[in-house]
Amino acid sequence: METMKEYIEDAEKALLHTYNRYQVVLDKGEGVYLYDIEGKKYLDFCAGIAVFALGYHNQKYNDALKAQIDKLIHTSNYYYNVPAIEAAKKLKKISGMDRVFFTNSGAEAVEGAIKAARKYAYLKDGCTDHEIIAMEHSFHGRTYGALSVTGNPKYREAFEPMIGNIRFAQMNDFESVVSQVTDKTCAILFETVQGEGGIYPAQEAFMKRIRALCDEKDILLILDEIQCGMGRTGYMYAWQKYSVKPDIMTTAKALGCGVPVGAFLMTEKVGMHSLTSGDHGTTYGGNPLAAEAVNIVLDLFEENHIIDNVKEVGAYLEKELDALVEEYDCVETRRGAGLMQGLVLNRPVGTIITSALDKGLILINAGTNVIRFVPPLIIGKEHVDEMMTILRACLKEEME
Q: What is the pLDDT of residue 73?
A: 97
Question: Residue 112 pLDDT > 90, yes or no?
Answer: yes
Cis check: omega of the bond before 83, within 30 degrees of 0? no
In 240-265, which positions are buried (b, 16+ CB within 10 angstroms) versus exposed (e)? bbbebbbbbbbbbbbbbbbbbbbbbb
Question: Residue 1 pLDDT > 80, yes or no?
Answer: no
The 10 Å Cβ neighbour count of residue 54 is 23
Q: What percent of the chain has pLDDT over 90?
A: 99
Distance CA(149)–CA(80), nearest Å, equals: 33
Q: What is the pLDDT of residues 199-246, one digit of tens each?
A: 999 999 999 999 999 999 999 999 999 999 999 999 999 999 999 999
Across 98-116, average pLDDT:
98
What's the helix, strand, coil split of the chain in %, to 5? 45, 20, 40
Q: What is the pLDDT of residue 396?
A: 94
The beta strands (E) that lie in 25-104 are given as 26-30, 33-36, 41-44, 99-103
Hey, which CATH number is domain 60-303, 3.40.640.10, 3.40.50.2300, 3.60.70.12, 2.170.130.10? 3.40.640.10
Collapsing DSSP states into helix, strand and coil, what is residue 53? coil
Across 267-273, average pLDDT:
97
Across 74-92, average pLDDT:
97
Q: What is the pLDDT of residues 49-64, one digit of tens each?
A: 999 999 999 999 999 9
Q: What is the pLDDT of residues 23-78, one digit of tens each?
A: 999 999 999 999 999 999 999 999 999 999 999 999 999 999 999 999 999 999 99
Bridge partner list, 359: none
Question: Residue 134 pLDDT > 80, yes or no?
Answer: yes
Q: What is the pLDDT of residue 400?
A: 78
Distance CA(202)–CA(228), nearest Å, equals: 11
Distance CA(81)–CA(25), nearest Å, equals: 37
Q: Helices marked H in 130-192 — which ranges?
A: 144-148, 153-156, 174-178
DSSP codes joined into one string, 307-338: HHHHHHHHHHHHHHHHHHHHH-TTEEEEEEET
Q: What is the pLDDT of residue 394?
A: 97
CATH fold match for the domains 4-54+305-399 and 60-303: no
Q: Which amino acid is at 146?
A: A
Distance CA(50)–CA(45), nearest Å, equals: 9
Q: What is the pLDDT of residues 137-163, one digit of tens each?
A: 999 999 999 999 999 999 999 999 999
Q: How far from chain centre, in Å, is Cα 218?
A: 27
Q: What is the CA radius of gyration of the chain?
A: 21
Collapsing DSSP states into helix, strand and coil, what is residue 265? strand
Domain extent listing, the chain = 4-54+305-399, 60-303
Distance CA(346)–CA(367), nearest Å, equals: 12
**CATH dotted code for 4-54+305-399:** 3.90.1150.10
Contact 228, 234 (CB under 8 A): no
Q: What is the pLDDT of residue 49?
A: 97
**Nearest one of 169, 168, 118 to 274, comparing CA atoms:** 118
Mean pLDDT of the chain: 97
Q: What is the pLDDT of residues 304-349, one digit of tens each?
A: 999 999 999 999 999 999 999 999 999 999 999 999 999 999 999 9
Across 166-177, average pLDDT:
98
C-alpha count within 13 angstroms, C-beta hemisphere, residue 123? 15
Contact 66, 296 (CB under 8 A): no
Question: Residue 118 pLDDT > 80, yes or no?
Answer: yes
